[in-house]
Structure 1
Amino acid sequence: MMYLVELTKLFQKARVAGSITMTMKRYDGRTKPHPRDGTPAVKNPEYKCLIRAQSRSKKLSTVVEQREVEKFSTAYSNLLKTSVNGLKRLKKPKKKAMATQ
């Protein structure tokens, strides 16, 4: 939960100026990209969730265990609902301009 506290501080700093990039992906616990040939593969690995956030030079990351994902995701979504307010709308091309091209 320390990650959420630091992420809140990051959002407050970025509210004045700047942006935040966030990523979330599956993590199997390996620290190297390819296992050695001698290492046996785990039959039922317990996958984790790797969550990262970056704003300028400040980087945050955390690993969430499989059993804690639901609790973390509710706290994470509540934080995002209160903090994310500067989303930009995508500019879609107008249909008439596209038809004439």
Structure 2
Amino acid sequence: SDLIDSDFLTELTRLFQKCRTIGSVVITLKKYDGRTKPVPRKGHPETYEPADNKCLVRASDGKTRISTCVVMTTDVFVLQAYSNLLRAHMDGLKKKDKKSKSKKTKAT
């Protein structure tokens, strides 16, 4: 479901808190031109020009899915709040095992 930016950030915070101990949150960002119809095939003229550079932001914990559309040029405060939220909840990331990497390089 498409949410307003502040609602999206609130729901994203809830997702992070829910998955603090068990589970994970998957976030995807995608360039979005505002079209709801598919892109025409080759051979057909392309006349569509998007007005703004938009970004579609989606988040999911496997059960709940939320999304919002951010205009890159005007929603600066939303993007700052989003990055602060990511920084605050990225402390549960697992570190990569460096030993397995060194074994692979010795074998080859």
TM-score relative to the length of structure 1? 0.81
Deviation at 1:34, TM superposition (A): 1.7
Q: Which of 40, 50, 53 is matched with 2:56 structurally?
A: 50
Structure 1 residues 81-100: aligned runs within 5 Å? 81-92=87-98, 93-95=100-102, 98-100=105-107
Deviation at 1:96, TM superposition (A): 5.5
Structure 1 residues 51-90: aligned runs within 5 Å? 51-90=57-96
Question: Matched residues in 2 for 1:96 and 1:16: separation?
Answer: 31
Amino-acid identity (%): 42
Q: Which runs of 5+ in 1 are unaligned?
A: none
Deviation at 1:81, TM superposition (A): 1.4
2:19 aligned with 1:14: yes
Instruction: Specify the code of the residue in structure 1 equivalent to 2:82.
Output: Y
Question: Matched residues in 2 for 1:44 and 1:84: separation?
Answer: 34
Report the RMSD for the aligned CA atoms in angstroms: 2.4
Asked if the contact 1:29/1:47 (under 8 Å) is kept, the reply is: no
Task: Pick which of 26-35 and 4-13 moved more.
Answer: 26-35
Question: Matched residues in 2 for 1:58 and 1:44: separation?
Answer: 30
Distance 1:75 1:97, change over 3 A: closer
Q: Which runs of 5+ in 2 are unaligned?
A: 1-5
Question: Matched residues in 1 for 2:71 and 2:104: separation?
Answer: 50
Question: Matched residues in 2 for 1:27 and 1:62: separation?
Answer: 11
